[in-house]
Amino acid sequence: MASTSNERLIESAATCMARDGYYQTKISDIVKGAGVSQGTFYWYYKNKEDVVKAIFSEVEQGLLDVVKIGYRQTMGTRESMVASSVGLIASYLRYVREHRDAIRLLTRCRQDADPVVKELANKVVRHVEDAFFHNIQRAKALGMIPEQRSTDVQAALLMSLVDGMTYRWLFTEVDNDKDIGQLSPEALAEEIVSYEFFGMLGAPEEKRQMGET
Amino acid sequence: MASTSNERLIESAATCMARDGYYQTKISDIVKGAGVSQGTFYWYYKNKEDVVKAIFSEVEQGLLDVVKIGYRQTMGTRESMVASSVGLIASYLRYVREHRDAIRLLTRCRQDADPVVKELANKVVRHVEDAFFHNIQRAKALGMIPEQRSTDVQAALLMSLVDGMTYRWLFTEVDNDKDIGQLSPEALAEEIVSYEFFGMLGAPEEKRQMGET
Amino acid sequence: MASTSNERLIESAATCMARDGYYQTKISDIVKGAGVSQGTFYWYYKNKEDVVKAIFSEVEQGLLDVVKIGYRQTMGTRESMVASSVGLIASYLRYVREHRDAIRLLTRCRQDADPVVKELANKVVRHVEDAFFHNIQRAKALGMIPEQRSTDVQAALLMSLVDGMTYRWLFTEVDNDKDIGQLSPEALAEEIVSYEFFGMLGAPEEKRQMGET
Amino acid sequence: MASTSNERLIESAATCMARDGYYQTKISDIVKGAGVSQGTFYWYYKNKEDVVKAIFSEVEQGLLDVVKIGYRQTMGTRESMVASSVGLIASYLRYVREHRDAIRLLTRCRQDADPVVKELANKVVRHVEDAFFHNIQRAKALGMIPEQRSTDVQAALLMSLVDGMTYRWLFTEVDNDKDIGQLSPEALAEEIVSYEFFGMLGAPEEKRQMGET
DNA sequence: TATGAATGAGTCTTCATTCAT
DNA sequence: GATGAATGAAGACTCATTCAT
């Protein structure tokens, strides 16, 4: 509770920037949110760029920790692969839900922030995609996924899927969003992973079911 | 040739805003790019919001025209469905490549622009997603796609895929981007559609091929 | 009378900066003095540095025009040399009195201004000293002044004399200043030139007079 | 060795202010240079004005001690007068060279500092000029210098000479300054005194030498 | 239609100064 | 004696917008 000025500043900065964007957030908004004076901001940070860096470095590690756990060591059945993927994506979704502000800030800054911050944000996301890439590569090496398709493209497709759905899930206003925002992390993860592995046509058993119907 | 001030303003605005973002683009940048005076801008437009609207209304119809062609009327084989999807996505990609600036502007404004413009941009994208939704629904009605999964979610997944890959394809610097930026619209469309229908595990024939190897 | 905003700005800037110094002069002071708005300043000038440059380039030419007239072409008597020197210094003094503000600004900026402005101010003064140097050199070439002493040092001594006395004459408050501030340009010029040529011991005829007394 | 915080503050203040000027020197610069904290400054001094006063009171006495030694008691030859003047100016130059920072600070503060400090700096210089004044007056009383010219003006001329040349000698960058900066205190003193007494036309013996050549 | 001078509110940033520890 | 966190007033600069011509 008796948080330090510094902590209050970081938190307020994340909240404001997630809500209003990097450029639209004024230092005066941040300090108002933190309940400190204008000068105090500059005691801790050189400028806006500086706070964002601090926020990013916190979030990057968290994200990577989650994604790297997905690294598969041994062969398994297709079912176990799918199940562990669902588990991975679900942890990812739980993580981002816990860190909504930082994640939204990250997403926004990839498009709108000054060049240094932009590049930093993209680097974070690139690191996550790299982790996805290695997971796919490993699955191919273990013979669990066919090798025809480019792993680069597949990692990009997966990243697009996860990224886009995360945004829809967390940040799109409900009335526009049908029911996606209501899904549990696990349910959404299941949808994503099903799509990831089987596409719109679904898993064989699903197809079988369909054939039977 | 001798384009009007108005045309030059629209074009300059699109270029500047695509490059710098909505808020970061100054009226003075736009008029500089258009080679007219500050006052002239205000003769044609009330403010920044006003130009963006003009740009958006141009692009929305184009996008919808492309997507609505994909609306399937009659039953066909799975192969023809996939082929026509590839055709659809490829036209989409060709279209956005032709209208890079407007598309990038649209994408950026969904996240960073004043509320009215933001909502406008999101509406355009929502319309595209609706078109996807109806295409999927129709395919389900024709029995070409299993019906278990929520069409809402599937449309969102497809939109994420198309949106994310479009961004990667057009706007990410090459060195970070491996070879995605180099793909032809057709090749990229093929990758997306394959993923869309069959996921990472690939189409049955691909799996068969793999099995035979 | 109906002077332009630009003219009013230049004049106000010179007045303020002469009075308060480069760094202590606020843009808000300048615009207040000019009776225009803050924004108007920035329409005409990039910043403080920019106005000062404009002021300096005006004054430099004026100063050089005065000093260069002193360039002696033909041999003459010692009396004519002294007389023409008095004329030169007197015009110089009249000029600086007419341009008090610019001159004071120049003097202050040689010590206190940002590096670019400082260097600019010093350059102006160096040009004046160069003109003095050439005048002395020419007088030596014509055999009117002994050649033992270094012309560099002599020019510097003369510059110190003129500079220091100008400052005392124009800018030192009277009560501290005995009667120097009351002298006419011609009287002060006569004092300076007498010292310049004959030093404290005075001209021969003066010495003679003294001897006779 | 282990100098006190107070000593370190004084020294740092002199260094910073000599280099950057009164107004441009921040308290934070001073404490950085002294290696103490911001708060410590305010333990010893009320504000910037306060430190400068401390610095000035140190330097004033030193300067006066040097100049007052020049006070002539008894009649002598013109040569001895010149020689003792050279000695006086040379001590002065040695002194200011030893106290460069304080001297530069003093010089700068005469033009740019807040009114109290400015007046203080001017008072120091006025005291020096008074000492010059009395020396000249005494020389006149002893009949060693003609009396026509105003002693006030002569003292001011001498002060200008000494002041200007000191500045040139110590503080002007070499490449702009030809060789003045390279002179020894004695050589420069000789130049100044020769000019002081005989002006540009030189001493009689010099003129004779010239005539003989 | 078109110009560009003029405005002033809005922000970032600096820095002397205070004060609890 | 000494620290350094905290303050807030002051000042530079930006930029959307207006308006007379």
Q: From CA A28, how far away is CA A20, in angstroms rounded?
A: 13
Compute chain C's Rg from CA coordinates. Answer: 20
Q: Confirm whether any atom of chain E, the nucleic acid strand, is less than 7 Å from CB of C23.
A: no
Write out pLDDT tens, residues C12-65: 999 999 999 999 999 999 999 999 999 999 999 999 999 999 999 889 889 888
Average pLDDT value over all residues in chain B = 87
Residue D6 has pLDDT above 50, yes or no: yes
Q: Confirm whether any atom of chain E, the nucleic acid strand, is less than 7 Å from CB of C37.
A: yes
- Whether B80 and B173 map to the same domain: the answer is yes
For an interface test with D, give the residue of C195, C198, C205, C209 to mutate (most D CBs within 10 A).
C195
CB B21 within 8 A of CB A23: yes
Q: Confirm whether any atom of chain F, the nucleic acid strand, is less than 7 Å from CB of A5.
A: yes
- Whether D140 and D89 map to the same domain: the answer is yes
pLDDT band at D171 (very low <50, low <70, confident <90, very high): very high
Q: From CA B168, how far away is CA B181, in angstroms rounded?
A: 7
Which residue did the predictor score with more confidence, D94 or A79? Answer: D94
Report chain D residues whose CB lies below 8 A from the CB of C178.
152
The answer to whether the CB atoms of A200 and B197 lie below 8 A apart is yes
Among the residues of chain D, which ranges form H helices? 5-20, 27-34, 38-44, 48-68, 78-98, 100-111, 115-141, 151-171, 185-198, 204-212
Write out pLDDT tens, residues B144-180: 889 888 999 999 999 999 999 999 999 987 565 568 8
Write out pLDDT tens, residues B18-38: 999 999 999 999 999 999 999
The answer to whether the CB atoms of A156 and B202 lie below 8 A apart is no
Question: Which chains touch C (3+ CB pairs under 8 A)?
Answer: D
Whole-angstrom distance between the N-terminal and C-terminal Cα of chain C?
A: 58
Q: Is D158 on the interface with C (CB under 8 A)?
A: yes
Residue B213 has pLDDT above 50, yes or no: no
Residue A126 has pLDDT above 80, yes or no: yes
Which residue did the predictor score with more confidence, B85 or A99? Answer: A99
The answer to whether the CB atoms of B200 and A201 lie below 8 A apart is no
Which residue did the predictor score with more confidence, D175 or B14? Answer: B14
The answer to whether the CB atoms of B207 and A146 lie below 8 A apart is yes
Does residue A207 sit within a domain?
no
Burial class of residue B211 in the structure, from the number of CB atoms within 10 Å of its CB (0-12 exposed, 13-18 middle, 19+ buried): exposed
Write out pLDDT tens, residues B97-137: 999 999 999 999 999 999 999 999 998 888 888 888 988 88
Does residue C62 sit within a domain?
yes
The answer to whether the CB atoms of A160 and B150 lie below 8 A apart is no
Instruction: At C43, list the tokens.
Output: 């329409």
Question: Which chains touch D (3+ CB pairs under 8 A)?
Answer: C
The answer to whether the CB atoms of D195 and C154 lie below 8 A apart is yes
Q: Confirm whether any atom of chain F, the nucleic acid strand, is less than 7 Å from CB of C143.
A: no
Average pLDDT value over all residues in chain C = 87
Report chain A residues whose CB lies below 8 A from the CB of B146.
201-202, 206-207, 209-210
Domain count, chain A: 2
At A71 the pLDDT is 64
Does residue C213 sit within a domain?
no
Task: Give the domain CATH number at A92.
Answer: 1.10.357.10
**Nucleotides, chain E, CB distance < 7 Å:** 1-20
pLDDT band at A178 (very low <50, low <70, confident <90, very high): low
Instruction: At D101, list the tokens.
Output: 């920072």
CB-nearest partner of C199 from D112, D156, D199: D199
For an interface test with B, give the residue of A195, A208, A210 to mutate (most B CBs within 10 A).
A195
Does residue A68 sit within a domain?
yes
At C180 the pLDDT is 87
Q: From CA C131, how far away is CA C133, in angstroms rounded?
A: 5
- Whether A62 and A34 map to the same domain: the answer is no
- Whether B58 and B36 map to the same domain: the answer is no
- Whether A61 and A128 map to the same domain: the answer is yes
Q: Give me the percent of chain B exceeding a pLDDT of 70.
A: 89
The answer to whether the CB atoms of C163 and D161 lie below 8 A apart is no
Q: From CA C108, how far away is CA D103, in angstroms rounded?
A: 17
Write out pLDDT tens, residues D103-147: 999 999 999 999 999 999 998 888 888 888 988 888 888 888 898
Q: From CA D45, how far away is CA D47, in angstroms rounded?
A: 5
Query: Could you tell me the distance in Å between the CA of residue B42 and the C1' of nucleotide F18?
Result: 10
Q: Of all protein residues, which has its CA closest to the C1' atom of E10?
A: A26
CB-nearest partner of B161 from A107, A160, A210: A160
Q: From CA D175, how far away is CA D180, in angstroms rounded?
A: 10
Residue D35's Cβ-side half-sphere holds a number of Cα atoms within 13 Å equal to 6
CA distance B45 to chain A (A): 23
- Whether D74 and D3 map to the same domain: the answer is no
Write out pLDDT tens, residues D32-67: 999 999 999 999 999 999 999 999 988 888 888 887
Name the nt closest to B38 by C-alpha to C1': E4
- Whether A72 and A156 map to the same domain: the answer is yes
Those residues whose C-beta lies under 8 Å from the C-beta of residue D56, and which sit 6 or more positions away, are D102, D106, D120, D121, D124
Q: From CA C128, how far away is CA C107, in angstroms rounded?
A: 13
Those residues whose C-beta lies under 8 Å from the C-beta of residue D35, and which sit 6 or more positions away, are D8
Buried b (16+ CB within 10 A) or exposed e, A186-198: ebbbbbbbbbbbb
pLDDT band at D200 (very low <50, low <70, confident <90, very high): confident
CB D151 within 8 A of CB D137: yes
- Whether A41 and A106 map to the same domain: the answer is no
Instruction: At A9, list the tokens.
Output: 């500043």
Going by the DSSP 8-state scheme, the letter that residue C70 receives in this structure is: T
Q: How open is the CA angle D107-D113-D115, to the nearest 5 degrees?
A: 115
DSSP string, D105-155: HHHHHHHSS-HHHHHHHHHHHHHHHHHHHHHHHHHHHTTSS-SSS-HHHHH
**Out of A108-122, D62-76, D184-198, which region has the weakest mean confidence (pLDDT)?**
D62-76
- Whether D126 and D147 map to the same domain: the answer is yes
Those residues whose C-beta lies under 8 Å from the C-beta of residue D39, and which sit 6 or more positions away, are none
Q: Give me the percent of chain C exceeding a pLDDT of 70.
A: 89
- Whether A40 and A131 map to the same domain: the answer is no
Residue C2 has pLDDT above 70, yes or no: no
At B210 the pLDDT is 41
Report chain D residues whose CB lies below 8 A from the CB of C136.
200
Instruction: At D65, list the tokens.
Output: 């001690």
Report chain C residues whose CB lies below 8 A from the CB of D184.
none
Q: Determine phi and psi for B201, rounding to 5 degrees.
A: -80, -10
Q: What mean pLDDT do residues D86-109 have?
A: 93
What's the domain range around B1? 1-45
Q: From CA B46, how far away is CA B61, in angstroms rounded?
A: 23
Cα→Cα distances D179→B57, C196, D52, D184, D191, Å: 73, 21, 32, 11, 13
Residue B86 has pLDDT above 60, yes or no: yes
- Whether B3 and B76 map to the same domain: the answer is no
Write out pLDDT tens, residues A66-109: 887 766 666 678 888 888 889 889 999 999 999 999 999 999 99
Task: Give the domain CATH number at D2.
Answer: 1.10.10.60
Q: From CA B116, how far away is CA B106, in angstroms rounded?
A: 13
Cα→Cα distances A112→B33, B56, B107, C188, Å: 21, 19, 11, 66
Q: From CA C59, how far away is CA C104, in angstroms rounded?
A: 11
Q: Is C179 on the interface with D (CB under 8 A)?
A: yes
Residue C178 has pLDDT above 80, yes or no: no
Cα→Cα distances A213→B75, B143, B154, D169, Å: 18, 11, 21, 103
Q: From CA A49, how far away is CA A47, in angstroms rounded?
A: 5
Q: Give, to the nearest 10 degrees, the angle between helix B27-34 and helix B5-20.
A: 130
At B71 the pLDDT is 64
The answer to whether the CB atoms of B112 and A21 lie below 8 A apart is yes
Q: Confirm whether any atom of chain E, the nucleic acid strand, is less than 7 Å from CB of C6.
A: yes
Does residue C17 sit within a domain?
no
Q: Is C108 on the interface with D (CB under 8 A)?
A: yes
Residue D197 has pLDDT above 70, yes or no: yes
CB-nearest partner of D164 from C164, C197, C201: C164
Q: Is A194 on the interface with B (CB under 8 A)?
A: yes
Q: Confirm whether any atom of chain F, the nucleic acid strand, is less than 7 Å from CB of C72.
A: no
Report chain D residues whose CB lies below 8 A from the CB of C195.
154, 157, 199
Q: Confirm whether any atom of chain E, the nucleic acid strand, is less than 7 Å from CB of B39.
A: yes
Average pLDDT value over all residues in chain D = 87
DSSP string, A38-94: HHHHHHH-SSHHHHHHHHHHHHHHHHHHHHHTT---S---HHHHHHHHHHHHHHHHH
Cα→Cα distances D152→A62, D133, D192, D204, Å: 80, 7, 19, 26
Q: What mean pLDDT do residues A163-184 have?
A: 83
For an interface test with A, give the residue of B147, B195, B205 to mutate (most A CBs within 10 A).
B195
Query: Could you tell me the distance in Å between the CA of residue B28 and the C1' of nucleotide F17?
Result: 12
C113-142 residues touching D, CB cutoff 8 A: 122, 126, 136
Q: Confirm whether any atom of chain F, the nucleic acid strand, is less than 7 Å from CB of A160.
A: no
At A143 the pLDDT is 86
Write out pLDDT tens, residues C123-153: 989 888 988 898 888 888 888 889 888 899 9
User: Which residue of chain C is at minimal alpha-carbon distance from D106?
Assistant: C111
Does residue A211 sit within a domain?
no
CA distance D100 to chain C (A): 15
The answer to whether the CB atoms of A126 and B176 lie below 8 A apart is yes
Buried b (16+ CB within 10 A) or exposed e, B45-84: beebeebbeebbeebbeebeebbeebebeeeeeeeebbeb
- Whether A64 and A25 map to the same domain: the answer is no
Average pLDDT value over all residues in chain A = 87
Q: What mean pLDDT do residues C76-105 have?
A: 90
Does residue B213 sit within a domain?
no
Q: Give me the percent of chain C exceeding a pLDDT of 90.
A: 57
Does residue B205 sit within a domain?
no
